[in-house]
Chains A and B, each alone.
Chain A
């Protein structure tokens, strides 16, 4: 014990003067439309630590030693640097390897180029260089978007950051997120099908075990308003809670439960258990759908500086998109409510198809597989 103590005393006693520059890499990314261009400066010492550059082990790293490892450097760096826009990955390539000198030594400079298939207000970056090798390492990002530059720091604890989004001013940012919200409800078939499944019976009433046309537009409208309001209030609550990271649920669980909610809503039209209290179901399942919206919002990335504004914009966009669907649905449904086609085709057939489709989602999401590709593979 004593011997070891004496050997260790110096290292473990004096407060070290950590005075060297720490391990940093510098990432500069400029966005112009869908195109990303930039450079990544990585210290040669860090690369040597991760993949080995000093081939002849003489303690000196020469350009020749770096040059022959160009492929290995790219193969190390690129998989550890992911960028995505609107939840869709922006593939990156490294086009060139050069050298630059910073105050603390030589750096390998990778020239980067990429394209984002989806337009989103922010760019989400996932940076994992030297993960597990050097927890002291930091990635220093300079993101240039529309002439404005944003900086962020990646650490071992925060490898994922969303940047940009607030560049065009608060109003434009609000509008961008509102637009994304509309887009999300319209393209999110699960939410639309759920809502429609609950709305289809709104122009009908249940009498003696069968659906018959309801008499007044007022009653039908009231039913629609009750369902839509309950759904809106519920998903707004959970969207906010999840976006602010107050409540977090695993996305696979949420997505599966959303699929289940669609199945149940459709089956309820075929064999009604809840006929006139559908707004209660809309509220209960709406809570789940809010978590789903939050997942989509996370994919877009929320600028930390103006979280509330973006969240409100997105939520309002979702409501506006939903209202538009209702405004198209209600008159059409009300006018055709007494027809055979409405009751048999729209309500009956539509609910069967919805239940079938949503069941497929449920299986896919719960078991993380694709039903059709699994069938096709047989």
Chain B
């Protein structure tokens, strides 16, 4: 772990950033141009240097020759969903949706397609719709392990921990011990059982059949629980182990960056996310890190303006999936507490993960919103939530 970075007086930056974002928000499109020569590279496709995505591209071309063949469509949808998750790129979600489209009209959606649709809905934060699909699926096939796992995850995101844990309990007969333990650890740790859940997860036997992805997923959950319990050394260890298994995973990078920011390791975050500026969530963490680094002033201004433009673009397309990130941006980068608390409240009505609660509390404190604070306090009390980050204001904020 690196040295603590000195917190920068935020006013200068806010002023600079205010100007930068005003410029970005102004409708002044740059004049289109004709590149100087044919050799100018305009765009690099994500397939470049990624064999899995190159394979997905070939499989999609093959699917196009027979779009009604489920044996072609299902692998395309699964791979595309996987890419959407690891890269955080919604274009792959669109590819998954397009591959499944022939089966998603009408009432009798085949079970594997229904599961994938639920996952797509979950990805778009349509949690109620995802639960409708998963309930239907599990009513017909109670032993469908993947559907149980996915439902447990959706129920956790919306804060229905007891229901989530029931699905995880059913998984002990259907999946490996690590999968069942990792499933349960999340909701258990958020509902007053953090200590037992954490130790059960660490103690769960690893099987040879547990894939790298499952191991990485379990390690990420362990790291997040450890961080909430205040066991920062333990969390650091789990994060590093997970990172070794999946260095490109965007969710993991974001979670690790948050952890490092809370520990005051802005320089490590800047290095970790240097090449991730296309991902809004990671760009936000990068900008938050750069705000604390005196020598990253220029990058901070550019990235702040980029973020403002991206949130603006998302709003223009009618997107409400990024309210958590935008609330954090308004609060921590732009210093607009009232905009932040409005976004955080709207976000809280949809999803209730620890990060959603945290931004609600931080924005409410900054905006003196007693109602939001009371809502958050009631949630913590009812669920007996333990989270070190909520107990004390984080350093350098």
Contact between chains at B179 and A9 (CB < 8 Å): yes
**B38 to A105, Cβ gap below 8 A?**
no
Contact B209 A138 (CB under 8 A): no
> How far in angstroms is the closest Cβ of chain A from B60?
9
Residues in A101-145 with C-beta less than 8 Å from chain B? 101, 103-106, 109, 130, 132-138, 140, 142
Beyond A20-B91, A153-B317, list 11 extra A-B contacts (CB 8 Å): A3-B209, A6-B179, A10-B213, A14-B153, A16-B85, A16-B123, A60-B48, A61-B42, A63-B35, A98-B32, A136-B94
Q: Which residue of A lies closest to B48 (CB)?
A: A59
Known A6-B214, A63-B42; contact A18-B34, beta-carbon cutoff 8 A? no
Asked if A48 lies at the interface with its beta carbon under 8 angstroms from chain B, I say: yes
Question: Does A19 lie within 8 Å of B281, measured CB to CB?
Answer: yes
Between A1, A17, A66, A105, the greatest number of chain B beta carbons within 10 A of the residue's beta carbon is seen for A17
- Known: A16-B251, A20-B278, A98-B33. Is A45-B91 also a contact (CB below 8 A)? yes
Q: Report the 5 A-B pairs with minimum CB-CB distance, sorted nearest first.
A: A59-B48, A64-B38, A134-B94, A136-B94, A19-B281
Convert A166-209 into 0s and 1s, putting 1 for each residue whose CB lies closer than 8 angstroms to a CB of B.
Answer: 00000000000000000000000000000000000000000000
Is A377 interfacial (CB 8 A cutoff)?
no
From residue A230, how far is it (CB to closest CB) to chain B in Å? 43
A287 CB, nearest partner CB in chain B, Å: 33
Residues of B near A64 (CB, < 8 A) are: 37-39
Q: Give chain B nearest CB distance to A205 CB in angstroms.
A: 59
Decide: B145 and A1 in contact? CB cutoff 8 A. Answer: yes
Chain A residues with Cβ below 8 Å from B124 are: 18
Whether, in the assembled complex, B119 has its beta carbon less than 8 Å from a beta carbon of chain A, the answer is: yes
A-B contact count (CB 8 A): 225
Which chain B residues numbered 17 to 34 have a C-beta less than 8 Å away from chain A? 27, 29-34
16 of the cross-chain contacts (CB-CB < 8 Å) are A3-B209, A5-B179, A8-B78, A9-B211, A12-B119, A12-B150, A14-B220, A15-B154, A17-B251, A21-B313, A60-B43, A100-B29, A103-B306, A103-B309, A103-B310, A142-B27
Contact A19-B91, Cβ < 8 Å, known A67-B38, A151-B316: no
Tell me whether A9 and B146 are in contact in the complex, defined as CB-CB below 8 angstroms, given that A22-B317, A64-B39, A138-B317 are known contacts: yes
In whole angstroms, what is the CA distance A1 to B84 when docked? 23
A39 within 8 A of B: yes
B244 interface residue, CB < 8 Å from A?
no
CB distance from A42 to the nearest CB of B (A): 12
Interface residues of A (CB under 8 A from B): 1-24, 39, 41, 44-46, 48-49, 54, 58-64, 66-67, 98-101, 103-106, 109, 130, 132-138, 140, 142, 151, 153, 155
Q: A6-B211, A6-B214 are in contact. Are A63 and B279 (CB under 8 A)?
A: no
- Asked whether A133 lies within 8 Å of B81 as measured between CB atoms, the reply is no
CA distance A11 to B118 in the complex (A): 12
Cβ–Cβ < 8 Å partners of A2 in chain B:
145, 174-176, 209
Most chain A Cβ neighbours within 10 Å, of B43, B95, B123? B43
Q: Is the CB of B317 within 8 A of A18?
A: no
Contact at A5–B145, with CB atoms within 8 Å?
yes
Judging by beta carbons under 8 Å apart, are A62 and B97 in contact?
no
The reply on B270 being an interface residue by CB < 8 A is no
Q: Cβ of B211: which chain A residues have Cβ within 8 Å of it?
A: 6-7, 9-10
Mark each residue of chain B from 185 to 224: 1 if its CB lies under 8 Å from any CB of chain A, else 0: 0000000000000000000000001110110110010000
Q: Does B321 contact A (CB under 8 A)?
A: yes
Are B45 and A13 within 8 A (Cβ)?
no
Residue numbers in A under 8 Å from B216 (CB-CB): 10
Contacts of B27 in A (CB 8 A): 142
Judge whether B225 is part of the interface by a CB distance below 8 angstroms.
Answer: no
Q: How far is the CA of A104 from the CA of B46 in the complex (A)?
A: 13
**Interchain nearest-CB distance for B245 vs A (Å):** 11
Q: Which residue of the partner chain, among B30, B84, B280, B310, contacts A100 with CB atoms under 8 Å?
A: B30
Q: Mark B63-96, 1 if CB is under 8 A from A, else 0.
A: 0000000000000001001101101111101110
Instruction: Please give, as numbers and ranges, the residues of chain B lying within 8 Å of A41 by CB-CB distance.
Output: 32
Interface status of B282 (Cβ within 8 A of chain A): yes
State the CA gap A59–B31 with chains docked (Å): 26
The reply on B41 being an interface residue by CB < 8 A is yes
A99 neighbours in B (Cβ, 8 Å)? 32-35, 42
- Least Cβ distance of B149 to chain A in Å? 6
**B209 adjacent to A6 (CB under 8 Å):** yes
Chain B min CB distance to A112 (Å): 12
Contacts of A7 in B (CB 8 A): 211, 213
- Is B226 among interface residues, defined by CB-CB distance under 8 A? no
B122 x A15 contact (CB < 8 A)? yes
Q: Is B40 an interface residue (CB 8 A)?
A: yes
Cα of A132 to Cα of B104 in the assembled complex, Å: 13
Q: Does B331 contact A (CB under 8 A)?
A: no
Q: Is B115 positioned at the interface, with any CB of A under 8 Å from its CB? A: yes
Question: In the assembled complex, which residues on chain B have CB atoms less than 8 Å from the CB atom of A24?
Answer: 313, 316-317
**B203 → chain A, closest Cβ, in Å?**
19
Chain B residue nearest to A23 in the complex (CB): B91
Asked whether B47 is an interface residue with its Cβ less than 8 Å from the other chain, the reply is: yes
A59: which B residues are within 8 A, CB to CB?
44-45, 47-49
Among B37, B115, B214, the residue within 8 A (CB) of A63 is B37
Tell me whether A136 and B78 are in contact in the complex, defined as CB-CB below 8 angstroms, given that A5-B146, A19-B279, A22-B317 are known contacts: no
The listed residue with most B CB atoms (<10 A of its CB), out of A7, A10, A49, A151, is: A10
Q: CA A130 – CA B41 in complex, angstroms?
A: 24
Residue in B88, B98, B220, B283 with the greatest tally of chain A CB atoms within 10 Å: B98
Q: Are B41 and A101 in contact (CB-based, < 8 A)?
A: no
Does B314 reach chain A (CB closer than 8 Å)? yes
In the complex, whether B325 has a CB less than 8 A from a CB of chain A is yes
**CB < 8 Å: which of A4, A5, A98, A104 contacts B34?**
A98
Do A133 and B317 form a contact, CB below 8 Å, given A15-B153, A61-B45, A106-B43? no
Q: Looking across the interface, which residue of chain A has its beta carbon closest to that of B97? A: A135
